[in-house]
Structure 1
């Protein structure tokens, strides 16, 4: 296959928004080799390894830990490379790979909820014995998914500490704690994981790190009261993880001018992709809720906000790669329940999933050409099941009230007799 066929940068934005990025077409078998090398290089000689989600919240934890261990990288080379990018002097991927990259004794290993067990296994295999390991901003849906890999990690590591703020199933939380892992799970309605790390680490942090945690929380909990929080989220998404960790470690939430210029430039395309996704949206009535459903490569939070303004109680944004984001409002706080039925999980007002409906490339071809119709149907069916469960719970509660009232009446009658 010719490279240009999977390099969507050459396509008009309207077509590019319908297709996944180039990395999607890279086979897992080759990816595994690259990931092995990536982790091996990162953890070589490291004293501490942080397995973290690659968003602003997970990476914020890495910045805190590098401060604790006095292991921050020099920010100047990152700022220089960013200035080169803005000037159109960015190096090709091959050239960047050949450059010697600085390493920190607090190594970062990026993971997602779906790759957590794989990254644990790699750290167990490649890290030095006696290393301290932190897992940040990641929650396994089932203990069995990570059971063997966590056991291997505990055999290698001197200690494993785990900071998170997602909705943990009680049996998963209990099983992880039973292994000896120091697990701290914050209230997902009140804290982000950077908050959890800030209060859990025995260190007197500078005020800028407290500010970083507060601004990260503002976006991660979708409070949107501080305009800087969108900058952090966008920057973490668009740039390399090491650059983000180093820059926020040096500056906190008050990003330097060169970063602000970079964000402003990238936002032009971001806004166009948001507009395209919003224009494709349909409103569906499911139980008592109005659900806005759309498709496209876009920033899901801003799309969800636009759909909320149009009257939706919840939003579903199906992505070209097959995953989907589910966002709620004050009227809908069951996102994690919907996602839990479709191979996912998350928070009451924000969750993600990837329906298990893609058996071969023809399924993906159908996904792209129909703008995610099968995924939309599966997720809306999950909404319907949750609506039935919520209605059943409400009926049960009303029944309990009626029974209680009836019992009081009977007692009154009996007394009168």
Structure 2
């Protein structure tokens, strides 16, 4: 394939909004090969290993744990790289001075999603030194099939601690604890996982990391009272996991000037993509709710907020890569129930899913040219089933 066909820099904003990023077009086998190699580099020889979600909440936990182990990386190379991304005059100098990837921390980081969690834990069991400390943060397994892999990690490690705030199935939680894991699950509507991690560790964290957990909670629980939470969310999305962990580990939510400049630079296009998604949105009445539905590469939280301003109780943002984000409000706190019907899960006001409607690339071609029609219909049907269940329950009560 011609690289120009998947090069974001060569696309108009309209096309960029409708098509997935270049990484989508690389085979999973190549992604798996890279993930395995990078995980092995992070795990082998590490004093501790953290398997964490790659969002702001999961990565904040890593920053806390590296503080605990006195294992933070030097922030200077990352700040130099950030400056070069916004100033072309510095880019050549940064290339000349670069010595490759930053050194690995004694606390290795392996990012994972709920779907890739089993593979991440298998790599820890295979590559970690005997007696290692293992932490799992901001990840909730789908079912009890994870237990066998967890047992392999427990056999390898000195200790295994798991911090989370998602809604766990009681049987899964009991099975993980029986395997020998110290599992702490916070209330999903009161704490983020960074909160759970901070209070679970016997350590007096510095003020900037206490503040980091608080601002991360503001973002992760959709409290939206601290403007810095949007900065953390954007930076976690755009930066590499190691860069984010290192910078917020050093500064907390008071991000340094190179990061602020970088965020301003990236937000110009971000705002344009948000506007494109909002412009193509439609409002649908489903039972007692108004559901805003749209499609596009965009920041789903901001799009959902604008759809709420237009009267939506819930928002569905279908992405070109095939997944979808579901966001709620005070009038709709059942996002996780909708997502649970469509190969996903999450929280009452924020969830994600990937409808099983893609058998081959022709289905993806249809997805792009119809702006996610099949995925939108499947998700709306899930809302309709919830409405029908609510009506049936009301009739039964009457």
Shorter chain as denominator, the TM-score bin is: over 0.9
- With normalisation by structure 1, the TM-score equals 0.92
Question: Is the Cα contact below 8 Å between 1:50 and 1:62 reproduced in 2?
Answer: yes
Asked whether the 8 Å contact 2:147–2:179 carries over to 1, the reply is: no
Equivalent position SS for 2:131: coil
User: Structure 1 residues 276, 76: closer, same or farther in 2, change over 3 A?
Assistant: same
The whole-number CA distance in structure 1 between the counterparts of 2:47 and 2:210 is 25
Identify the residue that residue 33 of structure 1 maps to in structure 2.
Answer: 33
2:367 & 2:91 partners in 1: Cα distance?
A: 33
**Structure 1 residues not aligned, in runs of 5+:** 400-417
Give me the whole-angstrom Cα distance separating, in 2, the residues matched to 1:90 and 1:389. 57
Deviation for aligned residue 1:98: 7.4
Residue 130 (structure 1) aligned with residue 118 (structure 2): no
1:85 is matched with 85
The verdict on how the C-alpha distance between 1:390 and 1:97 changes in structure 2, with shifts beyond 3 A counting, is farther
Query: What's 1:121 paired with?
Result: 122
Q: CA deviation at 1:389?
A: 2.0
Please list every run of at least 4 consecutive aligned residues from structure 1 whose deviation after the TM superposition is greater than 3 angstroms: 94-98, 393-396
1:266 aligns with 2:262: no
Query: CA offset at residue 169 of structure 1?
Result: 1.8
Q: What CA deviation, in whole Å up to 9, does each residue of 1:197-221 have, x standing for no partner?
A: 0100110111211111110000101
8 Å CA contact 2:357, 2:375 repeated in 1: yes
In 1, Cα distance between the equivalents of 2:159 and 2:74? Answer: 28
Equivalent residue for 1:359?
359
Q: Which runs of 5+ in 2 are unaligned?
A: none
Which deviations, in whole Å up to 9, do the C-alpha atoms of 1:155-205 show, x marking residues without a partner? 222221111111112222222122121111111111100000010011011
In 1: Cα distance, 2:291 partner to 2:274 partner: 17
Task: Give CA deviations for 1:95-114 in whole Å, capped at 9, x if unaligned.
Answer: 99971421110011011111
Task: Determine if contact 1:47/1:131 at 8 Å carries over to the other structure.
Answer: yes
Question: Alpha carbons of 1:95 and 1:304: their partners in 2 closer, same or farther (altered >3 Å)?
Answer: farther
CA offsets 1:64-98 (integer angstroms, 9 cap, x no match): 0000000011111111111111112558xx99997
Change (3 A) 1:90 1:382: farther
SS, match of residue 160 in structure 2: strand
2:254 matches 1:254: yes
Cα contact 1:9–1:16 (8 A) shared by 2: no
1:126-161 CA-partner distances (Å, limit 9, x unpaired): 1112111111011112222x2332222222222211
SS of structure 1 residue aligned to 2:136: strand
Which residue number in structure 2 is paired with residue 140 of structure 1?
141
Paired residues of 1:141 and 1:344 also in contact (CA < 8 A): no
Cα RMSD of the aligned pairs, angstroms, is: 1.8
Higher Cα Rg: structure 1 or 2? 1
Give the Cα–Cα distance (whole angstroms) in 2 for the partners of residues 274 and 320 of structure 1. 14
Report the TM-score when normalising by structure 2. 0.96
1: distance between equivalents of 2:327 and 2:98?
36
Specify the alignment match of 1:407 in structure 2.
Answer: none
CA distance in 1, matches of 2:156, 2:144: 19
Report SS of the residue matched to 1:393: helix
CA 131–369 in structure 1, closer or farther in 2 if over 3 Å, else same = same
For residues 309 and 258 of structure 2, the distance between their equivalents in structure 1, rounded to whole angstroms, comes to 33
Aligned partners of 2:232, 2:250: CA distance in 1, in Å? 14
Distance 2:65 2:219 in 1: 21
- Matched with 1:414 is none
Contact 2:138 2:164 in 1 (8 A): yes
Could you say if the C-alpha distance between residues 338 and 278 of structure 1 is closer, same or farther in structure 2, counting changes exceeding 3 Å? same
Partner of 1:403: none
Does the alignment pair 1:215 with 2:225? no
Query: Residues of 2 paired with 1:97 and 1:261: CA distance?
Result: 21
Cα distance in 2 for residues equivalent to 1:249 and 1:164: 20
Distance 1:189 1:39 in 2: 32
Distance in 2 separating the partners of 1:55 and 1:289: 29
Q: Does 1:156 align with 2:181?
A: no
SS in 2 for 1:321: coil
Query: 1:132/1:96 Cα in 2 relative to 1: closer, same or farther (>3 Å)?
Result: farther
Task: Give runs of aligned pairs for residues 187-336 of structure 1, distance below 5 A.
Answer: 187-336=187-336
Q: Distance in 2 between matches of 1:325 and 1:100?
A: 33
In the alignment, the residues of structure 2 paired with residue 193 and residue 207 of structure 1 have an alpha-carbon distance, to the nearest angstrom, of: 18
Task: Count matched residues.
Answer: 397
